[in-house]
A and B are shown apart, each in its own frame.
Chain A
């Protein structure tokens, strides 16, 4: 079987060649963030009020958006997965996936801004005296617009990822829990959760790292202060002075390291023997 082994190795070549792009890029970002001056740039941004408030704002906003998306997506899939077997139903749920994130963000502005459709409709219906009384949900300092855009856009993705798992759970397991006297909570924790956990952790990591570091939506629907880390990094990168460039690299490298540590923790949790045992003999 030595030949087969070699062939398998050849099959990995395109992926290996592809991985050079992100890893080389990341390595270069690290090198440029150091800039031959050691950790001075890291020291500088870690003492910068603007950077620290941006980090807090990013983690808070991305965290809320991710957790909400996962909870809502999980609830939706758990409740409706028998209905989702119809293609037409799935197509309706996946409408937001047809649009880029920033286009959906623009739709949120159309819908929820102070001059938007909702404000107009409520004023016309007499529920609001004036459109300016409509709450500020877009370009707001709380990041509400960003959160709404991401949740609306990511819930279909969570459904897409969780649906195959729910479809593959054998109903006999629920019957087993019932016959042993378990309730709905037991059904969820002993049957659903062990099957779902790998996908849930992976979805969390994918969505969190995307919402934390994507530029387009916060640039469109966020404010200038506080700003997401990606907007700050982009500004430093293209800013008026070249001196800020190493700061952009340092900020993005720190974000990457944070996400890599989070990923390691996620995989560590998943490989704990208790969860593997509960998933049964599935690889």
Chain B
């Protein structure tokens, strides 16, 4: 067991922790030239030059805005559908689940290209609303899966009890289900934001280059920025889901039956 643990630590450090640390170090020092025998040259230049770019801030705010909207719609759709799937017990359920998963199996590029003309016609092309809608395609199937699993673990009894005690639909959602769904909402936050931040092609097609999100700044940056700036930009991409996670965690404290850190508890 100890040997196994040693192997586990070696592998995870080598494959996951060290690359992240290297990226962090590179973002805090001048581009590396080890072959010439130089050491690290520390400095904040990478971040300083990155933050001087006015496009970066605009894109960050737009990306965060889209991220929150997409997350909110994901939680709503995921919650209803997850709940419906556990209440539904008929034949053909496997096919229903396959149908709900299918949007991530069809290439999203095909969907975005197909919707492009339609979005122009109804005036959603080149707008932030159109981009939010198209970002639902690669995220919602995951949300439905996660919420479905959580509802299954919660068990039917937990859903019947509030019903018996006379709680209405929304009371039940807010006082029983949402507090128990907290772990699901946490994983959903990460997944949705990271997927939304990963979309270059979808955002470029539907946003028409007018909706400036972070990937649309990142790709052109590649050609004319040095490695320190790009490393800082890469770290910036990871900081956004982390900070949004903290915001969601704070918001979830206001759910009923949450342990508030400023209250005494046994």
Contact = CB atoms under 8 A, between A and B. Distances in A.
B15 to A, nearest CB: 7
Interface in B26-59: 26, 32-35, 37
Nearest to B22: A117
A279 interface: no
A18 B140 contact: yes
B106 A103 contact: no
Contacts of A263: 98, 102, 105
A35 interface: no
A29 B8 CA distance: 46
B20 to A, nearest CB: 5
Given A99-B237, A215-B200, A22 B102 contact: yes
A191 interface: no
Contact of B12 (A92, A210, A216): A92
Interface residues on B, range: 35 or more
Given A21-B134, A28-B114, A215-B109, A110 B190 contact: no
Interface stretch (A42-50, A63-71, A246-254): A246-254
Interface in B79-138: 80-81, 83-84, 87-88, 94-95, 98-115, 117-118, 133-134, 136-137
A256 B107 contact: yes
Interface string B137-180: 10010001000010000000000000000000100000000000
Interface stretch (A7-15, A169-177, A179-187): A7-15
B201 A100 contact: no
A242 interface: no
B16 interface: yes
Contact of A103 (B15, B190, B201, B237): B237
Nearest to A29: B114
Contacts of B83: 11
Contacts of A225: none
Contact of B107 (A76, A103, A259): A259
Max chain A CB contacts within 10 Å: which of B20, B35, B88, B114?
B114
Given A8-B87, A107-B234, A80 B8 contact: yes
B106 A216 contact: no
Nearest to A271: B94
A2 to B, nearest CB: 14
Chain A interface main SS type? helix
Chain B interface main SS type? helix
Nearest to B87: A8
B228 to A, nearest CB: 11
A210 B201 CA distance: 13
Contacts, number: 219
A267 B94 contact: yes
Contacts of B16: 92-93, 95-96, 156
A260 B106 contact: yes
A100 B194 contact: yes
B114 A32 contact: yes
A239 to B, nearest CB: 13
A98 interface: yes
Max chain B CB contacts within 10 Å: which of A25, A123, A249?
A25
Given A8-B84, A13-B80, A83 B8 contact: yes
Given A8-B84, A98-B194, A110-B231, A93 B134 contact: no
Contacts of A107: 19, 23, 234
A234 interface: yes
Contact of B98 (A80, A92, A120, A267): A267
Contacts of A274: none
Contact of A98 (B87, B110, B231, B242): B242
B80 A15 contact: yes
A213 B197 CA distance: 17
Contacts of B5: 83
11 contacts: A13-B80, A25-B112, A28-B114, A32-B117, A100-B197, A103-B218, A103-B238, A216-B198, A252-B107, A255-B107, A255-B110
Interface of A: 4, 7-8, 11-15, 18-19, 21-22, 24-30, 32, 76, 79-80, 83, 89, 92-93, 95-103, 106-107, 110-111, 117, 119-121, 123-124, 131, 152, 156, 164, 202, 205-206, 209-210, 212-216, 219-220, 230, 233-234, 237, 248-249, 252-253, 255-256, 259-260, 263, 267, 270-271
Interface of B: 4-5, 7-8, 11-13, 15-17, 19-20, 22-23, 26, 32-35, 37, 76-77, 80-81, 83-84, 87-88, 94-95, 98-115, 117-118, 133-134, 136-137, 140, 144, 149, 169, 190, 194, 197-201, 205, 215, 218-219, 222, 227, 230-231, 234, 237-238, 241-242
The 10 closest A-B pairs by CB, nearest first: A213-B107, A29-B114, A11-B84, A100-B198, A252-B110, A25-B111, A28-B114, A215-B201, A25-B114, A123-B35
Given A107-B19, A234-B201, 15 more contacts: A14-B77, A15-B81, A15-B84, A15-B140, A26-B106, A28-B118, A29-B111, A30-B114, A98-B190, A102-B219, A110-B227, A164-B149, A256-B106, A267-B98, A271-B94
